[in-house]
Amino acid sequence: MSVHIQTLLMVLVVVGMVVSVSVGAIANRQQRDGTLYWALGLATNAMSYLVLSQFDTLGQTVAIFGAAFLRACAWAAFAEGLYAFYSRPAPRVWIWAPVVLVFLSLAILVDHLALRVISNSLIVIAQIFLVFSIIWRMGRDSPGRGKYFLLTGLVMALSLSLLRSAVAIGGDPTAMVSPSPTSLIQIISALVVLATMVLLSIGFVLMSKDRADNLNRQLAICDELTGLANRRRMNEVLSSEWVRGRRSGQALALLMIDIDHFKHYNDQYGHQAGDECLRQVAQVIAGRAARAGDLAARYGGEEFLLILPDTDESDAKYLAESLCASVRALDLVHPHSPGSMVTVSVGVAVSRDDLYRDAESLLRAADEALYRAKHGGRNQVQVALAALAGGEVAPRAAAKLVQLTWRRAYESGNAVIDAQHQTLFSDANKLLNALFGGPSGPELDKLVQAFVADIAHHFQTEEAIITRAAYPGAAEHAERHRALLVEAEALLVRFRAGTVTIGELFQYLVHEVVARHILIADRDFFPSLNSD
């Protein structure tokens, strides 16, 4: 049975053009992933067989010259496509030099058919090796199995070129170019070329699809602007690390980070500058997630979160302070921020010894610490005072609770107010010790009464001082005092009736009186005292 070579060549042309159009149709011009180059290479390769099919019309020399030249251009386009796919700069001298060599070899060896076939085959082999080397060196950046289809197609094309060289050396070179129905080598060549085109088309399309799928998966868990993990990914990791930490007994640290006065930065420099500021700060934060289990995430807006498994308080605080220093070192000018540079405030919370009931409680503690850092002057680190989980302290937290410590940064500048604040800190610590394993019964009742009495006395004294200092918000501040006293007296009644929980007392002592009022709300009148 004979095969009509002309028909087979036209089949190659039709198939080649169909796959070329198909590949080109899925090309994404915005991504510039090399698909258009690949489609052009397939089309050019198909055109080479169209030229070769016109052997009788164009003549042997012109047909062979045109087919070889177009085939070399096709392989150069494949190489360009791969470099574009991998986002690497293309060495165009090496890519297109074989095309020039084909032209020169055909011109020089015009009267030597065997040498022309051999030289063209060797040039194609060199081009195939170039494409092969690109995939081999960069293939690890290609997810999925598409590259294996490409490699199979390359091996088939390489085998065909070696076969053509061998036949030209040891046999009749006219069998390589003749469209005779009895030319077995031409039939084999056509079938191999057909399979190669299909494999190269499928392989590159699969590579593009797999990379697009991988990109979509990344976008599903990453913040597009900063490249950090998004809120969804953060919640997943926080939940899994919480479970792992509880099972292993290891500490879990959270750093809640906020860019100071970021809205003012956006208003003054514009949203593009604001986005660039977010990216630069995000890079600094990402640099602190150095270990495999660490995660840097964008919590929302200008807030970020660092999840640090197996990290204790001292390490977490040191890392937070170094983070603040690194952000300042960016030297991003910001007139509204401390030091006229972009800075961050950081809240630190560490879960250890069952101090927190669940991951949400740990996250709230970090947020509360950040709140104190922002209202305490910004550009600083604050560590969470302790844990609350749904109104109850975790069962084994008693002996591990960190005592409230008075610092000079809390001073108002008024000796009377500062002395009374320190007294309230001392009262709170005594009461906390009593709540968690200390005296009970009458002794505890006395401590609660003393604390409420000292709060009432302090509020009365403070109101007189800030009124005398002409603080504009004195009346509003007095209203806050009354609300806290009403809550204190109600808790005292419930405490004596035995209906108040330890968590509720803890919430009032640490969060309402100390964290929210003494360390935050009272700071509003400090300038009035200092200007008095």
CA gap 509, 104 in Å, rounded: 90
Beta bridge partners of 255: 306, 348
Distances in Å between the Cα of 98 and the Cα atoms of 65, 69, 121, 409 are 14, 9, 11, 73
Confidence at residue 237, expressed as pLDDT on a 0 to 100 scale = 92
DSSP state of 255: E
**Tokens matching residue 483:** 């609300």
Q: What is the pLDDT of residues 300-322, one digit of tens each?
A: 889 999 999 998 888 899 899 99
**What is the widest separation between alpha-carbon atoms in the chain?**
117
pTM of the complete model: 0.52
Residue of 457, 377, 382, 472 lying closest to 417 (CA atoms): 457
CA gap 428, 401 in Å, rounded: 12
CA gap 528, 412 in Å, rounded: 10
Helix, strand, coil % over all residues of the chain, rounded to 5? 70, 5, 25
Residue of 400, 521, 391 lying closest to 463 (CA atoms): 521
CA gap 508, 314 in Å, rounded: 27
3-state DSSP call for residue 389?
A: strand
| Rounded to 5°, angle at Cα 193 from 191 and 194 | 65
User: Phi/psi at 305 (nearest 5 deg)?
Assistant: -135, 135
In this structure, the strands spanning 252-259 and 295-300 are: unpaired
Confidence at residue 161, expressed as pLDDT on a 0 to 100 scale = 85
Residue of 304, 320, 302 lying closest to 312 (CA atoms): 320
Rounded to an integer, what is the distance from CA 372 to the centroid of its chain? 28
Which residues neighbour 301 within 8 Å (Cβ) at sequence distance 6 or greater?
A: 262
Confidence at residue 444, expressed as pLDDT on a 0 to 100 scale = 73
| DSSP E strands, 275-383 | 295-300, 303-309, 344-351, 381-383
Q: Do the beta carbons of residue 294 and residue 329 sit within 8 Å?
A: no
CA gap 156, 283 in Å, rounded: 46
DSSP H helical segments within 341-497, as ranges?
Answer: 359-375, 415-435, 442-468, 474-497
3-state DSSP call for residue 28?
A: coil
Confidence at residue 302, expressed as pLDDT on a 0 to 100 scale = 93
Residue 482 has a CB neighbour count (10 Å cut-off) of: 11
Confidence at residue 171, expressed as pLDDT on a 0 to 100 scale = 60
Residue of 311, 306, 309, 315 lying closest to 245 (CA atoms): 309
Sites in the chain below the pLDDT cut of 70: 1-4, 28-32, 110, 113, 139-144, 170-183, 353-354, 385-403, 435-441, 500-504, 506-507, 510-511, 515, 530-532
Distances in Å between the Cα of 35 and the Cα atoms of 24, 86, 156 are 7, 11, 22
The kind and range of the H/E element at 198 are helix 184-221
| Rounded to 5°, angle at Cα 220 from 215 and 221 | 105
**Tokens matching residue 510:** 């640490």
- Tell me the domains of the chain and their CATH numbers: 5-221 (1.20.1070), 222-397 (3.30.70.270), 403-532 (1.20.120.50)
**Tokens matching residue 344:** 């961050």
Sign of CA pseudo-dihedral 165, 166, 170, 171: negative
Looking up tokens 């479970």, which residue turns up?
Answer: 243
DSSP H helical segments within 308-358, as ranges?
Answer: 313-328
| Interhelix angle 60-85/35-53, nearest 10 degrees | 170
3-state DSSP call for residue 462?
A: helix
CA gap 481, 486 in Å, rounded: 9
Confidence at residue 507, expressed as pLDDT on a 0 to 100 scale = 66
**Tokens matching residue 367:** 């947020």
Rounded to an integer, what is the distance from CA 410 to the centroid of its chain? 38
